[in-house]
């Protein structure tokens, strides 16, 4: 705990949806929902306009459509969101060498370590300047919390939403927390909250009054003691600049249960390629390959295989996933597949490459690890927070379309396109062999809508255009 509120927590407001509104002038001020659009899709982010209808993150997309039928429903564009996140994180890095990212749109900053704040006035000034700089650079709003600990700074940023700043003076934590629900504390989810409620504890003050011994009896030594400290406002966790990843994983939920064993294997191998792409991007290799299978009846099986040493070779990972899949009963259908790599290291075991190559040459004459050329592997908008399980990439990648023999081009709502005559735009919708495109850019006025055949040679996928900063308002 610090004597000055020099720990800052930044949380970008409705980040994915706000980024889409900034990129698409016709959506500004209108309800926007980002997530998986299939029957089993879920909401990743809803704009504040959509939240007024009751739409919120993690809600089934079908329910969101019933609540807000006139909202714009878009698939995520994670490459675009990452580019904005990099700009925001660069601004945070100017404040301090100690920046702890929690996700694309959220981070802690130690202002004291950066020498930009040592009291309430200087901390508030740094926070306000950060919000102004983010707006000027990206055109997006972020909410800032300032406090003497990470826990209270995060609570402060929640109170600041949307587009605000809240500073909580050190020494006032107990007064602030006392009347709040126990769910406000880190580590208290629905199950723990219900367990505490049955024991007669619904507020943070109830936890303090119950005492550490009672919480330990209810929750165990580590959790009970930690919860009692947090209830009293104590949190001495440091801002850590490097957050070591424990694993890398990807998964997809399918709109329709998969029954064909060949199709299931194609999906598993595609996920293995995507996972290795993430692994390499993070600069790691890993020893343990994990396969996750959720079956038609919602039962979930997890199988793993630990290699002799760490690897980032796609062929090795694909082969391991294939062996794990062979040991799983998929009778009845598969609704979700996931592939992960854990036991991470920052080096590879070279003999694993030689082993995989020798085995592949002996069996097929092929060299493992060659990337597939169908565009359905290796990242892009489907790879990122909120895509897993959202249905955004489920049963829709180019690899799967080719495997199924489909020749019709797929245009996902929200994706960028470019026309040789009309220039850049984005997909509003498609179906029955037609695709509707609105032609506009981040800095333009709302654009016109035109419709084309899905195989129109003049219409091609485009790249996201940079956002236009708005400057201080």
pLDDT in tens, 347-362: 544 333 333 444 444 4
Predicted confidence at residue 246, as pLDDT, reads 77
Same topology between domain 180-231 and domain 247-374: no
Q: Which burial class, exposed, middle or buried, applies to 1 when counting CB atoms under 10 A from its CB (0-12, 13-18, 19+)?
A: middle
Tell me the domain boundaries of the chain: 180-231, 247-374
Pairing of strands 72-74, 32-35: parallel
Q: What is the DSSP string of 345-393?
A: ESS--HHHHHHHHHHHHHHTSPPTTPPPSSS-SS-STTSSTTTTTTTSS
Predicted confidence at residue 346, as pLDDT, reads 62
Predicted confidence at residue 365, as pLDDT, reads 36
Report the C-alpha gap between 183 and 168 in whole angstroms. Answer: 19
CATH number of 180-231: 1.10.150.20
Question: For the segment 40-89, what is each residue's pLDDT rounded down to a tens digit?
Answer: 788 999 999 999 999 999 899 999 999 999 999 999 998 899 999 999 99
Decide: 384 and 78 in contact? Cβ < 8 Å. yes
Helices of type H across 201-255? 204-210, 212-219, 221-231
Decide: 311 and 352 in contact? Cβ < 8 Å. yes
Specify the pTM: 0.71
Predicted confidence at residue 455, as pLDDT, reads 93
Tell me the backbone φ, ψ of residue 452, rounded to 5 degrees: -135, 165
Decide: 26 and 54 in contact? Cβ < 8 Å. no
User: How many helices (H) and strands (E) in the chain?
Assistant: 16, 17
Rg (CA), the chain: 24
Q: What is the DSSP string of 279-327?
A: HHHTT-EEEEEEEEEEETTS-EEEEEEEEEEEE--HHHHHHHHHHHHHT
Chain-centre distance for alpha carbon 238? 24
User: What would the two tokens of residue 18 be?
Assistant: 């706000």
Looking from the CA of 16 toward its CB, the CA atoms found within 13 Å total 28
With a CB cutoff of 8 Å and minimum separation 6, the contacts of 470 are 135, 136, 139
The active-site residue, picked from 106, 251, 381, 382, is 106
Instruction: State the DSSP code for 53.
Output: T
Report the C-alpha gap between 24 and 465 in whole angstroms. Answer: 10
User: What would the two tokens of residue 287 be?
Assistant: 């020893």
* Stretches in the chain below the pLDDT threshold 50: 348-408
Predicted confidence at residue 40, as pLDDT, reads 77
Predicted confidence at residue 11, as pLDDT, reads 97
Pairing of strands 300-311, 285-295: antiparallel
Active site residue 173: no
Decide: 339 and 250 in contact? Cβ < 8 Å. yes
Q: Give domain 247-374's CATH superfamily.
A: DNA polymerase, Y-family, little finger domain (3.30.1490.100)
Length of the chain: 473
């Amino acid at each position: 705990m610090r004597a000055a509120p020099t720990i800052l927590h930044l949380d970008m407001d409705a980040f994915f949806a706000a980024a889409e509104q900034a990129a698409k002038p016709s959506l500004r001020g209108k309800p926007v929902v980002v997530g998986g659009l299939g029957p089993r899709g879920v909401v990743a982010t809803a704009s504040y306009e959509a939240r007024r209808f009751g739409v919120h993150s993690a809600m089934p997309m079908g329910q969101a459509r019933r609540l807000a039928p006139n909202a714009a429903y878009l698939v995520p564009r994670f490459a675009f969101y990452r580019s904005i996140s990099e700009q925001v994180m660069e601004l945070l890095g100017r404040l301090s060498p100690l920046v702890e990212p929690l996700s694309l749109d959220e981070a802690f900053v130690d202002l004291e370590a950066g020498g930009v704040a040592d009291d309430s006035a200087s901390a508030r000034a740094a926070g306000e300047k950060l919000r102004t700089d983010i707006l000027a650079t990206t055109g997006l709003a972020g909410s800032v919390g300032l406090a003497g600990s990470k826990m209270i700074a995060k609570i402060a940023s929640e109170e600041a939403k949307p587009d605000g700043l809240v500073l909580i003076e050190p020494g006032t934590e107990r007064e602030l927390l006392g009347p709040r629900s126990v769910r406000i504390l880190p580590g208290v989810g629905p199950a723990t909250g219900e367990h505490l409620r049955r024991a007669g504890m619904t507020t943070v003050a109830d936890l303090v009054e119950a005492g550490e011994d009672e919480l330990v009896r209810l929750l165990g030594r580590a959790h009970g003691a930690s919860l009692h400290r947090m209830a009293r406002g104590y949190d001495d966790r440091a801002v850590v600049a490097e957050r070591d990843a424990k694993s890398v994983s990807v998964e997809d939920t399918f709109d329709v249960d998969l029954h064909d064993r060949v199709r299931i294997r194609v999906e598993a191998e595609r996920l293995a390629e995507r996972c290795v792409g993430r692994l390499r991007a993070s600069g790691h290799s890993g020893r343990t390959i994990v396969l996750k299978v959720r079956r038609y009846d919602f039962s979930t099986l997890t199988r793993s295989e630990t290699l002799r040493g760490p690897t980032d070779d796609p062929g090795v990972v694909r082969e391991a996933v294939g062996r794990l899949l062979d040991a799983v009963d998929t009778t009845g259908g598969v609704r979700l597949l996931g592939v992960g790599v854990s036991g991470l290291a920052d080096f590879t075991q070279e003999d694993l490459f030689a082993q995989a190559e020798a085995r592949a040459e002996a069996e097929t004459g092929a060299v493992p690890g060659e990337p597939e050329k169908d565009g359905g592997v290796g990242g892009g908008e489907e790879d990122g927070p909120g895509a897993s399980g959202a249905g955004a990439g489920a049963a829709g990648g180019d690899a799967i379309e080719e495997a199924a023999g489909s020749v019709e081009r797929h245009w996902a709502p929200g994706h960028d396109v470019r026309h040789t005559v009309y220039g850049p735009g984005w997909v509003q919708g498609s179906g029955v062999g037609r695709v509707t495109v609105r032609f506009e850019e981040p800095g333009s006025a709302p654009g016109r809508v035109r419709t084309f055949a899905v195989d129109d040679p003049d219409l091609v996928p485009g790249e996201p255009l940079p956002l236009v900063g708005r400057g201080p308002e």
